[in-house]
C-alpha cells in the first residue's frame, strides 16, 4: 500500500463530516423510535386483537421487518463510526486497500466509502457467489 493520497480540500472534508454526523443522528433517532415502538406495542393489538394463525403470521412478519430495519440501520451506523475514525486520523477519502484517493463523486454518493471504486469492484467480484457452487 502506498502512502495516503487525500485529494480533498479541508472544506470538502468538513462538508462530508457534517453529512456523516447528520446521517448518524438521523439513524440513531430512527433506531430509538423503532425500539420504543416495538417495545410499547403488541403486534397482535396492531392487527385488531387476538386472532387466528394468519394474524400470528402477520405479527411475526412485522417483528421480522422491524428487526431487519434495525439491523440495516445499525450496520450503517457502524460504517459511519468507521468513517468518523478515518476523519479523525486524517485518512478520510483514502482507499483502505490501495491508498489512492477516493474520488469526490464517489464520496458524494456514498460518504462512508472506504475503498476506491476499483478496489470495491475487485472486492465484490472476489466475494461474489460462484454460479457453480451456489455460494
Q: pLDDT tens digit string along 51-69? A: 566 767 777 777 888 888 8
Report residue 45's pLDDT band, with 50, 70 and 90 as the boundaries.
Answer: low
Calculate the average pLDDT of the chain.
Answer: 84
Contact 75, 69 (CB under 8 A): no
Tens digit of each residue's pLDDT (9 = 90 or more) over 98-116: 999 999 999 999 999 999 9
Asked if residue 19 is part of any domain, the answer here is: yes
71 part of a folded domain: yes
Angle ∠(97,101,106) on CA atoms, nearest 5: 95
Q: Is residue 134 part of a domain?
A: no
Q: Which three cell numbers stand for residue 63?
A: 417483528
CA dihedral for 15, 13, 113, 87, sign (positive or negative) = negative
Q: Give me the numbers of helices (H) and strands (E) for the chain, helices first please.
A: 5, 0
Asked if the structure places residue 79 within a domain, the reply is yes
For the question of whether the overall pTM of this predicted structure is more than 0.85, the answer is no
Domain housing 22:
10-127
Q: What is the pLDDT of residue 53?
A: 67
Q: Is residue 101 part of a domain?
A: yes
- Distance, CA of 41 to CA of 109 (rounded, Å): 36
Distance CA(50)–CA(52), nearest Å, equals: 7
As a whole number of angstroms, the distance between CA 101 and CA 115 comes to 9
Flag the least confident range among 26-40, 54-68, 83-97.
54-68
On whether residue 3 sits in a domain, the answer given is: no
CATH assignment of the domain containing 115: 1.20.120.910
How many structural domains comprise the chain?
1
Residue 5 binned pLDDT confidence (cut-offs 50, 70, 90): low
Amino acid at each position: 500500500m502506498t502512502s495516503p493520497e487525500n485529494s480533498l480540500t479541508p472544506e470538502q472534508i468538513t462538508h462530508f463530516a457534517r453529512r456523516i454526523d447528520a446521517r448518524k443522528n438521523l439513524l440513531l433517532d430512527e433506531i430509538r423510535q423503532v425500539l420504543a415502538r416495538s417495545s410499547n406495542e403488541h403486534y397482535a393489538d396492531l392487527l385488531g386483537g387476538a386472532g387466528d394463525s394468519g394474524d400470528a403470521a402477520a405479527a411475526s412478519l412485522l417483528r421480522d421487518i422491524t428487526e431487519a430495519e434495525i439491523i440495516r440501520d445499525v450496520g450503517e451506523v457502524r460504517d459511519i463510526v468507521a468513517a468518523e475514525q478515518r476523519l479523525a486520523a486524517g485518512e478520510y477519502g483514502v482507499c483502505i486497500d490501495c491508498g489512492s484517493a477516493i474520488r469526490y463523486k464517489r464520496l458524494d454518493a456514498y460518504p462512508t466509502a472506504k475503498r476506491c471504486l476499483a478496489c470495491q469492484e475487485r472486492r465484490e467480484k472476489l466475494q461474489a457467489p460462484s454460479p457453480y457452487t451456489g455460494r
